[in-house]
Amino acid sequence: MTDTQTQTKLKIFSGIQPTGRKTLGNYSGGFRQYAQTQEVGEGFFCIVDLHSITVDYDPDELRSSTLDLAAMLFATGLDPERSTIFCQSHVTAHAEAAWLLSSVTSYGQLGRMTQFKDKSENREFIAAGLFTYPVLMAGDILLYQTDVVPIGDDQRQHLELARDVAERFNYRFGETFRVPDGQYPEIGGRIMDLQEPTKKMSTTMSSEQGAVYVADTPDQIRKKFKSAVTDSEREIRYDPAAKAGVSNLLEIMSVATGETIDDLVARFDGSGYGDLKEAVGESVVALLTPIRERFEALRADERELQRLLAVGAEKARRAAEPTLELMYDRMGFVRPDAGRFFGAARPRGL
């Protein structure tokens, strides 16, 4: 590949938290899109461990769930040869960028983030980091001069904030960042809780029966779908605005099999809810079983996971450094090694 081709390659960045067990929602809005987008550009996929300390957590669990998530990213199709898979805390530019960007982030806008409001509700202690969380996320994205951010619907507001931060920085200090676009799945951008279909399926907020985990066994998956809440009408139809159980099941099946919603509605025309629930359960078993098997094999070799993460961190450091240097420079900081970055190493087009 020539230099110009490398320079024009689409830059893709996404992040995922290493807290708890990853759900079918994370698969639909996250993992699935990561594996697809790595095919069309240069992908950076980040285990955002620094984000995970903003709510109550257990240090030992963080250590082990970070490796779980690394194994899960590879098991769902990320290729370490092709993409950069790394831990946020291994690349110090992320924490530095967050501080610098906090000077161009609006306090009022941070207070309007629905995730902050949801996660801080009814808590005795609210960490300042929970409030500034979206600034760190903006830094994650902007450091890589990202074109596209594949995410689920629940991250839309954070992505809009990252765009505002980029624009404000560019306006205040001169053109520095590419303003990124979000990429949301057409179907499955917001998978709902199986027990409470008006709420999103969530690692932290869903009940055991309400969330399907990527590493669940076939029996667990079948049981969860069997007890999924459906609607009061008997007809199987798709109405996503109603946030109803049946529409959610249809979306899940479409994600699992790749069939369109229209085809599924036609197929289940005249069937009962029991048949639909069973079929959706089986389609998810077929989707997740090979992933769980790969996950278990990869998770067993921690040294290899650590090695792959070290390789990823090195690549990420190199990719992020020119933008961080440019930020410091534009903001008027005297650098210890002035001049080093001004030449070929500048980020694309700047």
> Is residue 66 a contact point for ligand TYM (CB under 6 A)?
no
The CB-of-30 to ligand TYM minimum distance in angstroms stands at: 3
Q: Is the dihedral of CA 187, 36, 87, 291 positive or negative?
A: positive
Query: Where in 37-56 is the site for ligand TYM (CB under 6 A)?
Result: 48, 51
Query: Could you count the other beta carbons within 10 Å of the beta carbon of residue 62?
Result: 14
3-state SS class at 315: helix
- Options 28-36, 57-65, 233-241, 311-319: segment touching ligand TYM (CB under 6 A): 28-36
In whole angstroms, the minimum distance from the beta carbon of 316 to ligand TYM comes to 13
Its sign, for the CA torsion 117, 120, 126, 129, is negative
Listed as own residue / partner, the contacts of 183-186 with beta carbons closer than 8 Å and 24 or more positions apart are 183/33, 183/37, 183/148, 183/149, 183/150, 183/151, 184/29, 184/151, 184/152, 184/153, 184/156, 185/28, 185/29, 185/32, 185/33, 185/152, 185/255
Under 8 Å CB-to-CB from 257, ≥6 apart: which residues? 283, 286, 287
In this structure, the number of other CB atoms found within 10 A of the CB of residue 45 comes to: 25
254 near ligand TYM, rule: CB under 6 A: no
Enumerate residues 78-137 that contact ligand TYM by CB under 6 A.
137
42, β-bridge pairs: 11
How many residues touch ligand TYM under the rule CB under 6 A: the total is 26
Q: How far is the CB of 116 from ligand TYM (least distance, A)?
A: 11
Q: In whole angstroms, how close is the CB of 342 to ligand TYM at the nearest point?
A: 28
Task: Give min distance, CB of 114 to ligand TYM, in A.
Answer: 12
CB of 166 to ligand TYM, least distance (A): 13
- Please state whether beta strands 148-150 and 181-183 pair in parallel, antiparallel, or not at all (unpaired): parallel
- Comparing CB distances to ligand TYM, the nearer of 97 and 308 is 97
The reply on whether position 264 binds ligand TYM by CB under 6 A is no
C-beta nearest to ligand TYM: residue: 29
Q: Helices 302-330 and 156-173, interaxial angle, to 10°? A: 40
Query: Does 201 engage in binding with ligand TYM (CB under 6 A)?
Result: yes
Is 224 a residue that touches ligand TYM (CB under 6 A)? no
Q: Is 65 a binder of ligand TYM (CB under 6 A)?
A: no
> By three-state DSSP, how is residue 21 classified?
coil
Residue 268 CB, nearest approach to ligand TYM (Å): 22
Listed in sequence order, the DSSP H helices in 53-178 are 59-75, 93-101, 107-111, 114-120, 128-142, 156-173
Interatomic CA distance for residues 275 and 72, integer angstroms: 31
Are 53 and 93 in contact, with CB atoms under 8 Å apart?
no
- Assess 20 for contact with ligand TYM (CB under 6 A): no
Q: Which of residues 136-175 bind ligand TYM (CB under 6 A)?
A: 137, 140-141, 149, 151-152, 154-155, 158
Q: Name the residue among 93, 92, 77 with its Cα closest to residue 38.
A: 77
Instruction: Please identify, using beta-carbon distances, which residue of 70 and 341 lies nearer to ligand TYM.
Output: 70
Binds ligand TYM (CB under 6 A): choice among 200, 224, 292, 299: 200
Q: Does 210 interact with ligand TYM (rule: CB under 6 A)?
A: no
User: Toward ligand TYM, which CB reaches closer, 187 or 350?
Assistant: 187
Q: How far is the CB of 119 from ligand TYM (least distance, A)?
A: 10
Q: Which of 11, 12, 20, 26 binds ligand TYM (CB under 6 A)?
A: 26
Q: Name the residues that contact ligand TYM, by CB under 6 A.
A: 13-17, 25-26, 28-30, 48, 51, 137, 140-141, 149, 151-152, 154-155, 158, 189-191, 200-201
